[in-house]
Amino acid sequence: MVWRAAVARAALGALLLLALLAAPARAQTQPLVADLSKHLVAITTGFSGTDVLLFGATDGPGDIVLVVRGPPGREVVRRKDRAGIIWVNADSVDFEDVPAFYWLATSRPLDEFANPAVLERHQIGTGNLRLPVADFAEIPPQTRTDFARALVRLKTAEGLYGEEQGVVRQLANRLFRAELHFPSNVPVGTYMVEVYLIREGEVVSAEITPLIISKVGVGADIYDFAHNQPALYGIAAIIVAVAAGWLAGVAFRKS
């Protein structure tokens, strides 16, 4: 299970490297260029979600599709079932390499311009996400689809998955821009922002830009302290609590 994820990551890394190496050489004839207003989203103490501007240009008319993918990880979906008079967790399905975040934005409703086979190939749209199941052979296909649908629905309810059709603004068939919104519960990690240029139903050009989301400042320090020095952190937490309680007690005696 773990090695598969590792291979996938390595493959992704290689692809990215290739894309980076290839980019300058093709710069002259590239039908599509795009960039982000920032490549690092810092989660600070005051973080309550953020917007990142994506902008770019095409060499002519065409539709734009944006896909933001969060770092892949494992997700376990459970289904409750009746046992006597109470509802308990019964079946569960393990999904591997599930993007922690998935957001789709388009210049027009997808069904007006894109070929469904193309969308499926590029995993464009939450319905086209490939969600690999662990213990694949042991789980019947119907169960797999039920659980996969539930996974997408639950992630959407958390604000981590979503689709917005027609929000990519185009100007004079050349320039385009879109706001990417990241909610406050956005997972940290390396994100991939994919931009597709679609003409006559087919992808004619694509570009991938990485986006890093990470904690910085006091919050990051606290997180690191908690994970690197857990025993000290626990003691510090107790001292803070006792001191705060005592302070309040003393303050109230005077009043």
Partner 1 sequence: MQIYLPIAEMSVNVLLILGMGGGVGFLSGLFGVGGGFLMTPLLIFIGVPPAVAVGTEANQIVASSVSGVLAHWRRGNVDLKMGTVLLLGGLVGSGLGVVLFRFLRGLGQIDLAISLSYVVFLGIIGGLMFVESLNTLFRSRRPRKSAKAKGSGGRHNWIHGLPFKMRFRKSKLYISAILPFAVGLLVGVLAAIMGVGGGFVMVPAMIYLLGMPTQVVVGTSLFQIIFVTANTTFLQAFLNQTVDVVLSLLLLTGAVIGAQVGAKAGARLKGEQLRILLALMVLAVCAKLGLDLVLRPDDLFGLARGGGH
Contact status: 238 vs partner 1 (CB under 8 A): yes
- 63-69/102-106 β-pairing: antiparallel
Question: Which CB atom, from 37 or from 184, has the smaller least distance to partner 1?
Answer: 184
**What type of residue is 75?**
E
Distances (CA, A) of 30 to 26, 56, 192, 194: 6, 12, 20, 15
Burial level of 235, CB count in 10 A (0-12/13-18/19+)? exposed
> What's the length of the chain?
255
Q: Which of 188, 204, 206, 208 binds partner 1 (CB under 8 A)?
A: 188
Residue 184 found at the interface with partner 1 (CB under 8 A): yes
Q: How far apart are CA 224 and CA 184, in angstroms?
A: 20
Number of amino acids touching partner 1 (CB under 8 A): 60
- Judged by CB under 8 A, the chain residues 112 through 171 that form the site for partner 1 are 147, 150-151, 153-155
Contact track, partner 1, 71-100, x by CB under 8 A: --xxxxxxxxx---xxxxx--x--------
Of 192, 54, 196, residue with least CA distance to 122 = 196
2 binds partner 1, rule: CB under 8 A = no
Q: Which residues bind partner 1 (CB under 8 A)?
A: 43-49, 73-81, 85-89, 92, 147, 150-151, 153-155, 184-185, 187-188, 215, 218-220, 222-223, 226-227, 230-231, 233-238, 240-242, 244-250, 252-253
